[in-house]
Amino acid sequence: MIEADGIEAISFSYTAGVATAALAGLVPSEFSLILLLLSGVLTLDCTLRPKGSPARAALLFFLIGAFSFSCANVPHIRHQPFTDELEWTKRQIAGIPFADSKVNHLLSALLTGDRKPVDKCTIQAFRNSGAAHILALSGLHLGIIYGILRTLGIPLGRSRTACRTRSALTIFLCGSYTVLTGAGPSLVRALLYIILREILENSPHRRRDPVKIFCTALLIHLCLDPMSVKSLSFQLSYLAMTGISFVYPILHNWYPKTSRSWLDRFDFPARIWDACALSVSCQIFTAPLAWIRFGTFPKYFLLTNLLSLPLSEALMLCGLACLILEIAGLTFLPLLRLTEWLCSALEYCLTVIAGM
C-alpha cells in the first residue's frame, strides 16, 4: 500500500491532515465521526486492494491526521512533573559566585529556559540581532548537550556493548533534560532526532537518510501530540529542519571536496562555509514565518550565527562545568572568569550587530 512512497508519503499526508484540521478549527463533533468512517472505509479498501492507487493511501493518512487533531483539540494543561527539581537547578545556577549577576541570569536562560531574570536590554539585543532563538530553549541547546555527552562517552570504547551503553545513557540523559525543562515542541523534536540517530548508529546496515529521519520524527511527534502543530516553536523548529534536510546538503556539497583526513577539522574556510550553508538553509524556511508573526527580518543573520553560536556553545559548556562544581561545593576561579568573559563577548557582539 505504501511501499512506493515510504515514510515520506505517510508523514506528509498525515501532517497535511493535522495542519488542515488546525486551520479549519475543527473540534470533536459529528465531523470526527465522518472522518473516522471515511478512514475506516479507505483502510478496508487499501487492505483488500494493496496495489491500489497511491493517492488512496495518501488520502487515508490525510484523514487520519485530521481525525487525530479533531479528537485532540480539547482544552488541556501540560503537567510538568519536575517543577521542584527545576527550581532547585535555578537556585544552584543563581548561587554560582560570578562577579556579575548578569552571567547567572543568562546561564539560567540558556540551561533552563528561564528568561525572567534577564534584563530587557539584553533580550532586545538578542532579538534585534536575530539571535532570539538562543535565549529560548530549543533543539540547539539539546544538540549542544548531546554533543557534550557524546564526547564524554568516548572513553567507553567502540565495542558493540560500549556503543549501546553510550547510546542508552545519552538518550536517557537527553530525555531527562527534555522532561525537566518542560518538554517544549522544539526540544521534543530534537530528542526524537537524537533517538533516531542513536538507533541508526547501532544499526550499521541501515542507511542514514536526512529526509527519512525528518519525516519519521515529524510523524511520531504529531502522533504523540497533534495539538503541537499550532505551536510557533513547533513550526519554526520543523521549518528549520526542513531547510537542513532538503537544502543544506545541496549547499554543503558546493564547497570543493578534498581528501578526507584528520586535517579536515582545521579547514576553517570549509567550516565557515558549512556554518553559512546551515544558517541560510534554516532562514529560507523560517524567515517568512518570522516576518508574518513579528514583522522583522534579521539582516545580518549570517554574521550573528557565525559569532553567537560558537560563543553560546562554549558558554553553555563552561556554565555546565560551573554548575557541576557549584553542586559539588567547589570553586575554580579561572573557569568562572572564562565564563564571565564568554558572556560579555556574546553580549557585546550581539549589541554591536543589533546597532548596525
Tell me: the pLDDT tens digits for 128-169? 887 777 877 778 888 888 988 888 888 888 888 888 888 889
Maximum average pLDDT range among 47-51, 93-97, 273-277, 296-300: 93-97
**Residues 27-56, mean pLDDT to the nearest whole number:** 52
Query: Who wins on pLDDT, 39 or 303?
Result: 303
CA distance 225 to 138: 17
CA distance 183 to 177: 8
Query: Who wins on pLDDT, 114 or 340?
Result: 340
Which grid coordinates are listed for 285? Answer: 524556511
The b/e string for 12-50 (b: 16+ C-beta within 10 A; e otherwise) is bbbbebbbebbeeebeeeeebeebeebbeebeeebeeee
Query: At which residue does the C-alpha cell 539560567 appear?
Result: 108
| Percent of the chain clearing pLDDT 90 (strictly above) | 5
Query: Who wins on pLDDT, 128 or 106?
Result: 106
pLDDT at 60 over 80: no
Q: What is the pLDDT of residue 3?
A: 42
Q: At how many degrees (to 10) do helices 30-48 and 54-72 cross? A: 150
Q: What is the pLDDT of residue 337?
A: 94
CB atoms within 10 A of CB 319: 24
Which grid coordinates are listed for 223? Answer: 502522533
**Domain locations in the chain?**
6-72
Task: Work out the mean pLDDT of the chain and round it to a whole number.
Answer: 78
Which grid coordinates are listed for 196? Answer: 533516531
CA distance 135 to 171: 24
pLDDT at 234 over 70: yes
Instruction: Give the number of C-alpha atoms closer than 13 A to the C-alpha of residue 6, restricted to the C-beta side.
Output: 8
pLDDT digits (tens, 9 = 90+) for 269-312: 777 888 888 888 888 888 888 888 877 777 777 788 888 888 88
Rg of the chain taking only CA atoms, in angstroms: 23
pLDDT digits (tens, 9 = 90+) for 164-201: 888 889 988 988 888 888 888 888 899 889 988 888 88
CB atoms within 10 A of CB 147: 12
Q: What is the pLDDT of residue 276?
A: 84
Which grid coordinates are listed for 103? Answer: 552571567
pLDDT at 33 over 60: no
Which grid coordinates are listed for 253? Answer: 556539497
Residues present in the chain in total: 356
| 142 exposure class (CB count in 10 Å sphere: 0-12, 13-18, 19+) | buried
Of 76, 78, 105, 317, the residue nearest 183 (C-alpha): 78
Strand ranges in the chain using DSSP code E only, listed in sequence order: none
**Residues 225-233, mean pLDDT to the nearest whole number:** 82
Q: What is the pLDDT of residue 128?
A: 81
CB atoms within 10 A of CB 349: 19
The CA distances from residue 221 to 70, 275, 333, 352, in Å, are 16, 27, 43, 38
**Residues 48-76, mean pLDDT to the nearest whole number:** 60
CA distance 154 to 264: 20
Q: Are 18 and 223 in contact (CB under 8 A)?
A: no
φ, ψ of residue 306 in degrees (nearest 5): -65, -35
CB atoms within 10 A of CB 324: 11
Q: What is the pLDDT of residue 137?
A: 77
CA distance 286 to 302: 14
29-38, 107-116, 178-187, 277-286: range with lowest mean pLDDT: 29-38
Measure the CA angle with vertex 187, ends 181 and 191; round to 5°. Answer: 115
**According to the 3-state scheme, what is the secondary structure of 320-337?**
HHHHHHHHCCCCCHHHHH
| Percent of the chain clearing pLDDT 70 (strictly above) | 78
pLDDT at 341 over 70: yes
126: which residues sit within 8 A by CB, 6+ positions away?
132, 134, 135, 350
Which grid coordinates are listed for 148? Answer: 557534550
